[in-house]
Each structure stands twice: as structure tokens, then as C-alpha cells.
Amino acid sequence: MLRIDREAKRNALDRATQDSLLRGLEALHGKVQVIVLRGTGASFYAGPDLKEREAEIAADQVDTAGSEAIEINMALRKHPAIVIAAVNGFELGQGLTLR
């Protein structure tokens, strides 16, 4: 099982959590036949951490949220295991794309 564990932020992905999710998928490559993806607490996934993105844009960094969302979705879809989204609560915004 892979779990998005940022309950206080409705499981919005900051860069660290996103990287952890991608590393988790990589680590399970070829080792399991099924992966269950779920969130922690009352929400499943709320998309990117908008406050983190806002701070980066304010610091004149390029907004890469779109390409990062595509990277996560492609990693899930290309993974050889069956990925089941165990939607344990509400989904917001980009969260709808993971199931």
C-alpha cells in the first residue's frame, strides 16, 4: 500500500510528498502485482500544495505543477502493477485524476 500522509493539508502534494510517492512506485516496480493508493484522514488527495506553489511563483520560480501532475499520472498508469485508488474521503481539484 502507498499512502499520501499529509492529513493537515488534505493530502495535497508538496514536492517532498510527491517525490516520496514516485520513489515508492519505483521501489515496488516488479515486486508486487497490486498497489493500493490511499490518503490519510478524511481526504484522499487534494492535488498540488497550492501554498507551496504560490511561494515559488512569488520567488520567480517557474510553475511546474502541470508537468509534475502528468509525471505522477504517467508513473501510475505505466506501472506494471494494478493500482487501486482506495478513495477514503473527498477529492479536490487534481485529486480526481488519480483514480
4-13 tens-digit pLDDT: 999 999 999 9
Measured over the CA atoms of residue 90, residue 93, residue 98 and residue 99, the dihedral's sign is: positive
Residue 72 CB neighbour total at 10 angstroms: 19
Which cell numbers in the block locate residue 89?
Answer: 474521503
Residue 93 zone, left/alpha/beta (φ > 0; ψ -120 to 50; rest): left
Domains of the chain by range and CATH?
Answer: 2-98 (3.90.226.10)
More confident call, 23 vs 67: 23
Residue 39 CB neighbour total at 10 angstroms: 25
Give pTM, 2 decimals: 0.86
What pLDDT is attached to residue 22? 96
